[in-house]
Amino acid sequence: MSPGTAADGFPVTRSTIDELDGWVHRLAAPLLPPQRIKRRGRAGFRWRFRDETAYVLMVGKAVRMVSGIRAAMLLIDNGFVAEAASLVRIVSDLALEIVAVAEGELRDSRTKAQQDFVAEYFARKSIGEDDNSLQQAKKRYVNREELMKTHVRLAKDAGLDDEGLRDLMRTIAGVYDGYVHGSYSSSMELYHGERHEFMLRGHEGTEQRVVYRTALSGKLHEVIQAISMIALVARDEGLHSDIQRGLNRLEKSEESTG
């Protein structure tokens, strides 16, 4: 067994990640099966949902979010801590986007940013899907700052420090951005001082892996809250209760506090 594998604990975080699958499958069930759409001008097909709605967007984002946080834990277990942090950054963005869209659905009143974000999700083409992929890449999309306004509204409605929340979200996102863009510090974390070489096949320090698992456990809270919002949109009170119980167990474990 390699250093820092499952033997190092975080049992509640791991069991909660296992629970995510069932929650997302339950939310996706009413949408299945999707349709096979023949690819234009070439062989093969792609899957598309019959209806393309805000709910479909949230489920699609949840699929990537849950797959992503599981992959991040696997990367940490194998020492690829910087790569895991990059993936956690994506997972956090997906959670932010789900909550931003869900807020408009629950209010039954969507801002222009929310409407545009949903429209862009279904309009965006995959690489090589058509001849306009270069023009598509240059298009300006609804950005993180615009979607963050939803979280500020929610915090304000709850009587919390809304601007403080915005600053905190920006700060945390900025730290993870460094991993995505290969920051100086993220590279130097992989330097082995005794051998004078870089650990390109995984960080060998058990303590370092624990630090990253703790951070991942914290991000798991965001993932659960996002899925919980989808359950509210779906009016699935039973699932929402199950998700909240899972969140309570994770909070009580204190695995996200180190």
pLDDT in tens, 131-150: 555 555 556 788 888 888 88
pLDDT digit string (tens) for 215-244?
999 999 999 999 999 999 999 999 999 999
pTM: 0.88
Cis peptide before 33 (omega within 30 of 0): yes
Residue with more model confidence, 160 or 177: 177
Q: What is the pLDDT of residues 29-60, one digit of tens each?
A: 999 999 999 887 778 888 999 999 999 999 99
Asked if residue 88 lies in contact with residue 69, where contact means CB atoms within 8 angstroms, the answer is: yes
Over the Cα atoms of the chain, what is R_g?
Answer: 20
First to last CA, the chain: 23
* Alpha carbon of residue 116 to chain centroid: 20
Least Cα distance to 16 among 242, 238, 176 occurs for: 242
* Six-digit token string for 24: 């997302």
Q: Specify the residue for token string 């809270």.
A: 221
What are 171's two structure tokens? 């700060």
Q: Count Cβ atoms below 10 Å from residue 193 Cβ, excluding itself.
A: 6
* Structure token digits, residue 62: 């949840």
Domain ranges, ordered by start, for the chain: 6-35+50-127+141-253
Using the CB atoms, write b or e for 21-48: b if 16+ within 10 Å: eebbebbbeeeeeeeeeeeeeeeeeeee
For residue 4, what pLDDT is reported? 43
